[in-house]
Structure formats: structure tokens, C-alpha cells
Structure 1
Amino acid sequence: MTMLPRFHLAVPVDDLDAARRFYGELIGCAQGRSSDRWIDWNLHGHQFVTHLAPSRREEQAHNPVDGHDVPIPHFGLLLTIPEFHKLADRFREAGVAFVIEPYLRFEGLPGEQWTMFLLDPAGNALEFKAFADDSQVFAV
């Protein structure tokens, strides 16, 4: 069987139960293997792991993009536009605070995309975005 390239990403969290609620229940990732120190998640076919690391991290850095302060580091997922809006609605209904509210970035320009930023319960910055035209993902 040939597998498409997949990424593996591990992030620190300070509460595995909060990670289960956020990544499993709210975002809808299927849980894989786990221990009392980590949980594997299926993030749209990619292996995403939350590792228990209770120490606090440094203050979040930011870079300006399209008039917003984008948190770095961050990671995220490219979704379809309907998936993007459905997830944004789920975040709103759950009372999740956005770092950058969902909006249409670079409107009418190469790379036009819907984007939103938020923090998980451990303070990891997440970006979710959606392109009307996937050929524009790497447009210059």
C-alpha cells in the first residue's frame, strides 16, 4: 500500500483531559494510542500528538500579516470552505476566544483564503484556513 506523505507533529500540553475535550470532542479528531503522558490524534490523516509538559512556556511572539498580529509559532490545517465555517461555528458555540476572528484574507489577490487563529487550552496557537481554489495555496 502506498501512503501519501503525512506529517507528524507533537506539541506540549499541561492537561491531557483538556486536550481530549478540545482536540477530541470540539475539533473532532479521532484518538489513537495514548498513555498517562501523551495522546495520539488523527488530524485529517496526519499524526498529531499532545505530550504532557506541565511547565509554562515563553510569551507568544507575533508577526504582522494582512493587518493582524499572527502568533508564532503556530500550526494548523487546510480545510474546505464549508468545513472551515462549520468549525468556526463550533468554536463560537463552545465560547472559544479567537486570537484572530475568522475572516477572508487577501481578498481578490493571489492566495485569497479564509483564516482564523485561536489557542488550545495549553496556549498552543492554531490556524485553520480554507482556499476557494486549492491551486492558490502556494500562489505568489
Structure 2
Amino acid sequence: MRSTHDAFHVAVPTHDLDEAVRFYVFGLGAKLARRYDDRVTFDFFGDQLVCHLDPAAVAVEPVEYPRHFGVTFARAEDFDRLLQLVEHRKLRVLSGPATRFEGTAEQHRTVFLVDPSNNVLEFKQYDDPRLQY
């Protein structure tokens, strides 16, 4: 089982390492962990995100489904702070913010962002914190 000392790892392609750093560090506030000629690693909300330099693998157009990654916030205040950051730093929004499954047990707020290499990120927060997982 995962402990609080373990980190989830996800890797995505990028066409430009400098743009990835600008978006994730200076846009979203991730911490730069390591940088190499072919990849950059971030502390992304406590987990590990690696952007690999692979322009041929970059999506031509961003789409929400099926491939995206992100964070499900436990607290509404944290989701609200992210929305303020997105607005303040004028980060590229694919869709939202919106409420999905309104009136059901699965009701949650969501926003989809797009990084400079068309990787799609979803940030969300459920009304019922038991549905975070």
C-alpha cells in the first residue's frame, strides 16, 4: 500500500522543456525537481510529473477524454485558490470551471487546463469528500 512518503508518477510528452518549466513552475507553482537534456521532473502537488522531450508524441489538438491527469482537491478552498491562480496567471483553459453531475452524489466542480504541449490537466473537487478517490 502507498504511504505518505511515496509519490505517484506520471510522464507526458513535451515539445519544449523551457515552456514546460514556465507552465508548471511559474504557472501552476510546481517545484522543479530535476532537469536533463531530454526531460524535466516536477514535484506536482506532492507527486512526480516528468515531461519528456518528444515533439512527435505531442497531441495536435487537446481533448479532455480519455487522456488527462490532474488533482482532486479534498477542500473547496484549495480548488477556489487554483481557480484564482488560473485567472491571475491567465493559464489556458480548455473547459470550465463547471459543475458536473449536478444534483447527484457525484456532484463536483471541475476545470480542464492545457499545457503548452497540449497535455490536458483536470482539477476537481467533490461536494462529498468520500468520493475523492
Tell me if the contact between 2:105 and 2:128 (Cα under 8 Å) persists in the aligned partners.
no
| Aligned ranges 1:90-129 → 2 under 5 Å | 90-129=85-124
Task: Choose between structure 1 and 2: higher strand proportion.
Answer: 1
> Which residue in 1 is equivalent to 2:3?
3
Percent identical pairs in the alignment equals 32
Q: Report how many aligned residue pairs link the two structures.
A: 130
Tell me if the contact between 1:111 and 1:137 (Cα under 8 Å) persists in the aligned partners.
no
User: CA-atom RMSD, angstroms?
Assistant: 2.1
> Which residue in 2 is equivalent to 1:27?
28
Distance 1:27 1:72, change over 3 A: same
Tell me if the contact between 1:61 and 1:73 (Cα under 8 Å) persists in the aligned partners.
no
How far residue 93 of structure 1 moved from its aligned partner, in angstroms, is: 2.3
> Which residue in 2 is equivalent to 1:37?
38
Bigger RCO (CA 8 Å, 6+ sep): 2
Structure 2 Cα separation of the partners of residues 56 and 127 of structure 1 = 20
Are residues 1:135 and 2:127 paired? no
Unaligned runs of 5+ in 2: none
Tell me if the contact between 1:7 and 1:47 (Cα under 8 Å) persists in the aligned partners.
yes
Give 4+ residue runs of structure 1 displaced > 6 Å after superposition.
Answer: none
How far residue 60 of structure 1 moved from its aligned partner, in angstroms, is: 5.0
**SS of the residue aligned with 1:90?**
helix
Report Cα offsets for 1:20-60 as digits up to 9, x if no partner: 11111111111112212111111122111111112254555
> Which residue in 1 is equivalent to 2:68?
74
Structure 1 Cα separation of the partners of residues 83 and 9 of structure 2 = 24
For 1:71, give the aligned amino acid: Y
> Which residue in 2 is equivalent to 1:50?
51
TM-score, length-normalised on structure 1?
A: 0.81
